[in-house]
Structure 1
Amino acid sequence: MTELVVKACGPMTSLQDRGRSGYQRFGVSPSGAMDMRSLAMANVLVGNAPGVAAIEFVNLGGSFTCAGGDLRIALVGAGCALSIDGTPVPPRTSAILKEGQTAQVGHTRTGTFAYLAVAGGFAIKPQLGSLSFHLRSRLGGLNGAALQADDRLPCIIQAQDGAPVHLPVNEDDRDSPVRVMLGPQDDYFTPDAIRTFLDSEFTVTPQADRMGFQLSGPAIEHAKGFNIVSDGIATGHIQIPGNGQPIVLMRDRQTAGGYPKIATVISADLDRFAQVRPGSAVRFSAVRRDEAVAAARALKEQIASLPDALVPVRFSLTTEHLLSTNLIGGAVNALAPKMSDLAP
């Protein structure tokens, strides 16, 4: 059996896919990749469906050795660099990790989360329909845990041959405001509080994890107190507890909560928001329902079109390749006299 062997990785490196659905009424968090778009791109590069489980990195990278066969791999997200036995792999490009070789994943540089996909995915039994690891319940992952050194990930056998491919896609606009829809409890806040929320800049604090991002900024004033009867939570809900500081609930969120929710990050902007690093600033912009729906449809169509955007890589731009290629078509001596100057 072909396996990907973990040699080293950072804490909270885990398996994540599209998450588990249909169990929130039982109190089960959906979990799933924090950046679904990057997960989809990594999977498409190796020929998988967009939601297949991949390895999610949080800030730090890791190293992995291939055992028992070759694997096609791809890394996408947060400006991470991938190399195989020290040879760099271009960004958003698939590569063959041969038996015995080691893939090195660098730390994140432009965000927090990155994804390493393997062709065929992992031969691991899902829990409640998903491989996504949820820390607090110990659901999913490898044996109910995050990854650590010496773990062995069995891989589903799939054809690993063929030329590498590249995915030339545009990066997200990280400077534009994160779009939200007001509610469902915006009536629990004064008009001035809503203006403050939409007109102010907030900072992502170090208290940010897969469950939620705590923000710091101007206090948001409640109009009816900060306790409500606990109701359902959706990914992207923005709670305002008693201290007036927003908490954006993320993939590992609880399924019910008792703080009023001033707004909800639209689904099309969740991936971009998840990549905002602690210490970075963020602003919010309110949109209508029809705009949120249109953005969600556009993202769905973009992910569906990713396979059509793949570009074959004709060769690897390595030192060995350059040395073996004749790059000179001729030579001219700029100091030599012209033929016309030599005429009698």
Structure 2
Amino acid sequence: MIEIIETGPFNTVQDLGRPGYRDIGVSASGAMDCLAVRIGNILIGNGDDAAAIEVQTFPFRLRFEAGMAFAVTGADGNPILDGRELLPWCAYVAEPGQILELRQPPRLARAYIVFGGGLDVPVLMGSRSTALRGGFGGNAGRPLAKGDRIGVGISGDALPLLPSGMAVIEPAVALRDAFPAMVDGVLPVRAIAAGEHDLFAADGEAFWGQTWRISSSSDRTGYRLSGEPIRPVKAIEMRSHGVVPGVIQVPPSGEPIVQMSDANTAGGYPKIAGVIECDLWRLGQARIGNRLRFVRSTHAEARTVEQAVTRYVEDIRQTSQMVKRALKAMA
């Protein structure tokens, strides 16, 4: 069991989401940085579907009511356990009564706390993720609040109760060859032209050529981008169509909206492009006010990046299994 002793708005329970229900209007939800959750769960021996806490408003503090393995992944900055700084992207074991604190990260937007066995909240439609707009899933369908007490599951694969566990090189470093670096504080985001791209003519090129800023009218549903407006060459009426995270739509205002984890299930705005799936975790770590530029990509490039990420994750998984076998042999 854990107890929340300090939190802010929109900190929620999330896992990898609930795909497969968009046809009945249910968004997938799930972590904005799914890669951080996947790695954290591997670090402490959880299954891939174990639920974690997504922290996007700081400071955040919780109390461990029992000894358990945990790890903090995602954002840069060091977690603090009873006043002692720890390494991120590293498995630890907390003792009963210890307090974990997360402070505002220097650059990135979201941190994830994973627990041995995962958070013990109900599974709804195959997921423990919080759907804030629907008011279900996670911790009673709402953000975490001071005084909340949440159970933690039991996993036979969780790491033994040792002082510390395995650490990994964070994705931004380990995958630097697969992801283009920021230039002058601008995040490059790869995307592929979508169905209505040609309707924008010259403004379509302006979409790729300018630097956009994530506006304050952004949340887990979508990032609204501020910049020089772009518009189709003529007014069009479109039937609503299915959308997924990464789709970039252009409303009449001309300021694009990037659909994110709580993406709408359908919409009628024209689609100018779609962010490649493997770049969504970087976008999920961007803050309001951050600048970004879209870079033309291809399906072949997207596949190559996906393969690099898969190799990275599988290398961590295999190393974790080797560590667990060694620990069992020593027991």
C-alpha RMSD of matched pairs (Å): 1.8
Q: Distance in 2 between matches of 1:38 and 1:169?
A: 9
The percent identity for this pair of structures is 31
The 5 A counterparts of 1:198-237 are 198-225=208-235, 227-237=237-247
* From 104, 108, 117, the counterpart of 2:105: 108
CA contact (8 A) 1:80 1:114 kept: no
* From 15, 18, 21, the counterpart of 2:16: 18
Residue 169 of structure 1 aligns with which residue?
170
Runs of 4+ in 1 over 4 A off after TM superposition: 309-312
Please give the TM-score of this superposition, normalised by the length of structure 1: 0.85
CA contact (8 A) 1:61 1:108 kept: no
Q: Distance in 1 between matches of 2:191 and 2:165?
A: 38
Q: Distance in 2 between matches of 1:226 and 1:213?
A: 23
Residue 27 of structure 1 aligns with which residue?
25
CA contact (8 A) 2:71 2:91 kept: yes
Residue 329 of structure 1 aligns with which residue?
none
Q: Distance in 1 between matches of 2:138 and 2:128?
A: 5
Residue 196 of structure 2 aligns with which residue?
185
The 5 A counterparts of 1:1-344 are 3-67=1-65, 69-158=66-155, 160-162=160-162, 163-171=164-172, 175=182, 177-190=188-201, 192-225=202-235, 227-309=237-319
CA contact (8 A) 1:231 1:258 kept: yes
Tell me: CA distance 1:123–1:59, structure 2 relative to 1, closer, same or farther (3 Å). closer
Q: Which runs of 5+ in 2 are unaligned?
A: 324-331
Please give the TM-score of this superposition, normalised by the length of structure 2: 0.88
Q: Distance in 2 between matches of 1:141 and 1:91?
A: 24
The structural deviation recorded for 1:309 is 5.0
Q: Secondary structure at the match of 2:216?
A: strand
Q: Distance in 2 between matches of 1:169 and 1:83?
A: 18
Work out the number of aligned pairs and report it: 308
Residue 342 of structure 1 aligns with which residue?
none
CA contact (8 A) 2:122 2:138 kept: no
Q: Distance in 2 between matches of 1:217 and 1:177?
A: 16
**Letter of the aligned partner of 1:44 in structure 2?**
I
CA contact (8 A) 1:29 1:252 kept: yes
CA contact (8 A) 1:17 1:54 kept: yes
**Letter of the aligned partner of 1:26 in structure 2?**
I
